[in-house]
Structures are given as structure tokens and as C-alpha cells.
Amino acid sequence: MRVMSKILKVQNLSKTYRSGDQDLHVLNNVSFEVSNGETFAIVGPSGSGKTTLLGLCAGLDKVDDGEIWLCDQNLIQLNEDGRALLRNQNVGFVFQDFQLLPTLTALENVIVPLELRGIKKAKEQGKELLAKVGLENRSGHYPSQLSGGEQQRVALARAFANKPAILFADEPTGNLDDETGAKIEKLLFELNKEQGTALVIVTHDLELAQRADKSIRLRSGKIEQTQG
């Protein structure tokens, strides 16, 4: 089967981890689809399997059972480097704890995905992106010299640097105060609209989830509820 208009298609996905001498069924027969430019939220209590699902969808982990099609590519058929290349060309990430490279400046962090693709004018593009998130004056600063909100804005600029077809965000406002969180949320949806990027957000925040076109609620590794 080939998915044409869907940027992400998850079919009968299961994942089991081994913990001591026990098997933990983290995901059980999960299926859903995300279309191009669509916003999609995954909600659920702690330990429901949200982050595991995000990792699998982004090709960060191997699938045990089921299928994931990302940008028309079956992830099961790709090796680690193949999945890395797919991510570099089509995927953006925003993490709860920002995950900036501590030894690189803000600008250098933003241009890493561009440089990985061998784009020559990476620096110019990086500066534009930083300007978009309002950090044009902080480009030479290291992550340790930036506030949490500023770090997340750098992470957003990095996530949109390679004009991804899909962006995965894991609790993007989880480590921020309400005011900063709201700003980041606004920026995230603006960039999504502006670039037509599909957005998959893992969150505890129900308000944030309600802003998404579609959402699923996970409980104990299963889809409990689907909306939209």
C-alpha cells in the first residue's frame, strides 16, 4: 500500500521493552494518520507511551510490530543512517529540554541541519531564522548564556531550518513558565502555518492539544480516544 497525501501513516504499531525479566508492552496496536500541513496532538498521562510513539514515528527507534510510513518511506526498510538522512531532509524536532548542542553558539545550532545537507548559504539562512524568532542579537551566545525561553526559540529556529515536511514536538512548553510557554506555542503554530509543515505534538497540556486539527489520547499504550 502506498500513502500519497498522508505525511505520516501508522498502522497496527506495537512496541515492547524488556525490563529485568519482564516484557513491558508500551504500545499496543496503535494506528493513525497525519496529512500534509495538519496539526496533530498526542495526549495522555505519564507512562501512556506518548514519547515512545513520537520516537518511533520520527525513526529514532526500531519498530517491533506494525508499520510506519513517513514521507512515503517505510521506516522498517531503512537502516539507522537511512532514517537519519530521511530526518535531515524531511523532519524537524522540538524537545521539552531544548536539546541544543552546548558547545555550539545559537547560530551554529540553527545551521547544523542546513550544513548537514551541504547548503552553502547556511549562515545567512540561519540568521534569518533567528531573526524570525526574535533572537538576531543573541546569535553568538552559547546555550548556557540563554534563558529557557530563548533556548526553546533557538530550538524552534533549528527545527524549521531545513523547511521540514513534518515537525515533531515533545512537550515543547513543558519546561517553560506560562507566559514564555504561550509565546513559544504561538510561534510554533505561526511557523507551521507559514511553512505548511505538519505538526505532531506530544503534550500534557489539553489547551494546546485542543488547538490541533486532530488528536489522540493514549492510555496504557492504546488509543483511548480520537478527536477530529
Q: Which of 32, 40, 69, 93 binds another protein (CB under 8 A)?
A: 93
Compare residues 142 and 189 and give the one whose CB is closer to another protein.
142
Check binding of 21 to another protein (CB under 8 A).
no
Q: Shortest approach of another protein to residue 148 CB, angstroms?
A: 9
Q: Which of 8, 26, 41, 108 binds another protein (CB under 8 A)?
A: 108
- The answer to whether residues 195 and 227 touch, using CB atoms and an 8 Å cutoff, is no
Question: What is the distance between the alpha carbons of residues 161 and 172, in angstroms, rounded to a whole number?
Answer: 17
Q: State the cell numbers at 26.
A: 508500551
Compare residues 1 and 46 and give the one whose CB is closer to another protein.
46
Total binding residues toward another protein, as defined by CB under 8 A: 40
> Residue 52, class by beta-carbon neighbours within 10 Å (0-12 exposed, 13-18 middle, 19+ buried)?
buried
User: Can you tell me which residue has the cell 541544543?
Assistant: 100
Q: State the cell numbers at 198.
A: 505538519
Element (H, E) at 128: helix 122-132
Check binding of 195 to another protein (CB under 8 A).
no
Question: What is the distance between the alpha carbons of residues 56 and 62, in angstroms, rounded to a whole number?
Answer: 7
Compare residues 1 and 4 and give the one whose CB is closer to another protein.
4
Q: Which of 11, 16, 29, 60 binds another protein (CB under 8 A)?
A: 60
Question: Under DSSP, is residue 151 helix (H, G, I), strand (E, B) or coil?
Answer: helix
The binding site for another protein (CB under 8 A) comprises: 51, 54-55, 58, 60-61, 80-81, 84-85, 87-91, 93, 95, 99-104, 108, 112-119, 142-144, 158, 162-163, 165, 170
